[in-house]
Amino acid sequence: MSGTPDEEKSFDLDTPPAIAAEGAGVIRAALATLPLSPGVYRMLDAKGDALYVGKARMLRRRVAQYLQFERMPNRLLRMVAETRRLEIVTTHTEVEALLLESNLIKRLMPRYNVLLRDDKSFPYIALIEEHDFAQIAKHRGSRDRKGRYFGPFASAGAVNQTLTAMQRAFLLRSCSDAVFAQRTRPCLLFQIKRCSAPCVGRISKDDYAGLVAEAVEFLEGRSHDAQGELAAKMQKAADEMDFETAAMYRDRIRALTAVQARQDINVEGLGDSDVVAIHSQGGQTCIQVFFFRGGRNYGNRAYFPRHDRNLATGEVLAAFLGQFYSDKEPPRTVALSEDTPERELLEQALTARTSHRVRILVPERGEKRKPVEHALANAREALARRMAESGAQAKLLEGVATVFGLEVPPRRIEVYDNSHIQGTNAVGGMIVAGPDGFQKGQYRKFNIRGPGKSDTGGGGDDYAMMREVFERRFSRALREDAARESGTWPDLVLVDGGAGQLSAVQEVLAELGIDDLNIVAISKGPDRNAGREKFLMPGRDPFQLEARDPVLYYLQRLRDEAHRFAIGSHRTRRSAAIERSALDEVPGIGPRRKKALLLHFGSAASVRRAGLADLEAVAGVGKAAAKKIYDHFHGGS
């Protein structure tokens, strides 16, 4: 793309500071080949990791600004100093560049960008319409099933409360198609008036479709219409002296009222909107997002993006919005507490992500400002709580350093525990904690596959399990980051166990040539009493802490979190093994027949109990395969 003479002019570049000379040379060399067109650029360090991702309307002009050193803050000077390579991707428009930039930032997590740490998907209420009688259910993830999806809800608790109330109000089934097909009598949900029992014909197809239509009406924001219709039906039943039916409609109206009562901020005319407010203090930022659908409040969530403390709040907010909606469908309206740079460009980018126009507003007064002020107040309070917790956390980490003789408070603590039943389905768990609390995105599980496990339930070797976990964890760490530059090496390692576990860990680390890790074993006290734990360290006598020492409470929380994570991972593995052992081990039963059996019987346990004639009746199984299945579970030859 050719430019005007003004666009092609050279830039008056400052002399780079000595520390940034090599990076400046990389950028200056790249300028000669950069186009004057939209695109995305990536600054990479010596290892090829992304330092910064940015978008530009004209790539050459934007990248050249990184050579104007007198105008640059220290953060960008450090970035230029670390730059060893520059990569670009050209796009047709600046909107495409903005969308690509947001996706790359979220995927690459460059340390000099504003980073949104958002590893959770939002739950929805789904009306699955693949069956004559639609199913209502909580849903996360891709929308690959035929139906309608309502949300997002800010939390699983919010969607569960609404789902329960909607079952009471509209009596829709929540069971799977397989369970539905097997019912011969109404389940408990029918008895407690949370389902109309279409599985056994207690309601006609047309009447059930009417309930689905009422539910959709409610979820789309026409709750007053739905309640009006129910009130009219209740009055008609009462006039006809059918008091049992009238009471049923009364209960459904109460259920709808309960949903609305929990949604304490309902703004007329707000429709489908997200309200986003930002508050910064002391270099930290909180962004509160409130979700409104059909004018009703579906809850809120707080975010604490990582960014340079000198960035203006408007810039932080703009970067947050790009990343937040990179994998979520934006609503028709996004209301902000303050304006952002390039708001119109952001509007175009969000509109390009969905089938409707997206408007970004900054309400100054009136009814629409009220939810913004409420979100802003929540952002202030959440940030104040986080800063108070951070102060308390810092004191606890200082206490940990004192107790264990560390030179500085640890920034990364790894805690290890194993879980198994007599050696079967053994799992090792690693959790990570630091100044910001538990770092759940860093948790790891290790399916034990070495000599520590037992396939027969005859007991397992805890020491061998711990050796395997540490060998796998730290041999990989040495391969990927021997210089310990990535921040993924622990400052302190805690092991749930006693002298045996500590010795096993020391042996592994010695074999790997690692002799400078701070390792502590936490041994349970007599009778496993909390508060009487002993701490074991190499070259130091075992010791205890005072029963009410805050540092002891903190270490107990770390150990309990590791225990919880390891047990949860073990249960997941055990459940999968139980399901596998029931059908996957039957000779000649592949995925297609397994699916047919589960759809027909509803569970592997039901297949196990089925008679030969019942198995033969399953479509696609056949007599020979049915005989194999029956013999497998009943000891036939």
SS (H, E, C) 578-589: HHHHHHCCCCCC
**Same domain membership, residue 299 and residue 256:** no
Give, for 365, the enclosing helix (H) or strand (E).
none
Sign of CA dihedral 369, 372, 376, 378: positive
The token pair that represents 432 in the structure block = 């990570």
Share of the chain above pLDDT 70, in %: 87
Supply the pTM of this predicted model.
0.68
Lowest mean per-residue pLDDT among 140-154, 487-501, 502-516: 140-154
Sheet-wide strand order for 39-44 = 50-56, 39-44, 85-90
Decide if 404 is inside a domain. no
Decide if 498 is inside a domain. yes
**Same domain membership, residue 461 and residue 543:** yes
Please tell me the predicted confidence (pLDDT) of residue 98: 93
Asked if the model's pLDDT at residue 92 lies above 90, the reply is: yes
Decide if 116 is inside a domain. no
Report the distance separating Cα 278 and Cα 154, nearest Å: 17
The token pair that represents 207 in the structure block = 């009447």
The token pair that represents 490 in the structure block = 């622990």
Please tell me the predicted confidence (pLDDT) of residue 1: 36
Please tell me the predicted confidence (pLDDT) of residue 199: 93
- Asked if 48 contacts 107 with a C-beta cutoff of 8 angstroms, the reply is no
Report the distance separating Cα 4 and Cα 393, nearest Å: 57
**Same domain membership, residue 555 and residue 600:** no
The four Cα atoms 171, 177, 183, 185 give a dihedral, to 10 degrees, of 10
The residues, ordered by sequence, that sit 6+ positions from 571 with a Cβ below 8 Å of its Cβ are none
Q: Which of 537, 555, 577 is the last residue of a domain?
A: 577
**Same domain membership, residue 505 and residue 621:** no
Report the distance separating Cα 489 and Cα 374, nearest Å: 41
Report the distance separating Cα 169 and Cα 383, nearest Å: 38
pLDDT band at 458 (very low <50, low <70, confident <90, very high): very low
Decide if 408 is inside a domain. no
pLDDT band at 12 (very low <50, low <70, confident <90, very high): very low
- Report which of 280, 517, 315 is spatially closest to residue 414, judged by C-alpha positions: 517
Please tell me the predicted confidence (pLDDT) of residue 581: 55
The token pair that represents 96 in the structure block = 């495409």
Asked if the model's pLDDT at residue 266 lies above 70, the reply is: no
Decide if 490 is inside a domain. yes
- Report which of 549, 519, 511 is spatially closest to residue 533, judged by C-alpha positions: 549
Lowest mean per-residue pLDDT among 177-186, 349-358, 444-453, 582-591: 582-591
Report the distance separating Cα 259 and Cα 265, nearest Å: 12
**Same domain membership, residue 128 and residue 93:** no
- Report which of 221, 217, 241 is spatially closest to residue 229, judged by C-alpha positions: 217
Please tell me the predicted confidence (pLDDT) of residue 578: 56
Report the distance separating Cα 463 and Cα 453, nearest Å: 11
Task: Taking residues 410-432, report their average pLDDT.
Answer: 85
Decide if 329 is inside a domain. yes
- Asked if 147 contacts 128 with a C-beta cutoff of 8 angstroms, the reply is yes
Please tell me the predicted confidence (pLDDT) of residue 208: 93
pLDDT band at 313 (very low <50, low <70, confident <90, very high): very high
Lowest mean per-residue pLDDT among 383-392, 460-469, 537-546, 627-636: 627-636
The residues, ordered by sequence, that sit 6+ positions from 419 with a Cβ below 8 Å of its Cβ are 426, 427, 429, 563, 566, 567, 569, 570
Report the distance separating Cα 475 and Cα 479, nearest Å: 6
Sheet-wide strand order for 333-336 = 296-303, 284-293, 273-281, 333-336, 359-361
In whole angstroms, how far apart are CA 25 and each of 14, 48, 83, 306, 583? 12, 17, 9, 29, 63
Asked if the model's pLDDT at residue 6 lies above 50, the reply is: no
**Same domain membership, residue 539 and residue 568:** yes
* 171 residue type, one letter: L
Coil vs helix vs strand at 260:
helix
Q: Which of 41, 74, 108 is the last residue of a domain?
A: 108
**Same domain membership, residue 600 and residue 573:** no
CATH for 93: 3.40.1440.10
Lowest mean per-residue pLDDT among 202-216, 244-258, 414-428, 527-541: 244-258
Task: Taking residues 149-164, report their average pLDDT.
Answer: 84
**Same domain membership, residue 605 and residue 549:** no
Total residues found in the chain within this entry: 637
Question: What DSSP line would sit under 499-521, residue for residue?
Answer: HHHHHHHHHHHHHHT-----EEE
**Same domain membership, residue 440 and residue 521:** yes
CATH for 629: 1.10.150.20
The token pair that represents 434 in the structure block = 């630091």
The structural domain count of the chain equals: 5
Decide if 26 is inside a domain. yes
Domain limits at 277? Answer: 273-383
**Same domain membership, residue 454 and residue 550:** yes
Task: Taking residues 211-240, report their average pLDDT.
Answer: 78
CATH for 422: 3.30.420.340
CB neighbours of residue 5 within 10 Å:
6
Coil vs helix vs strand at 177:
helix
**Same domain membership, residue 16 and residue 102:** yes
**Same domain membership, residue 103 and residue 16:** yes
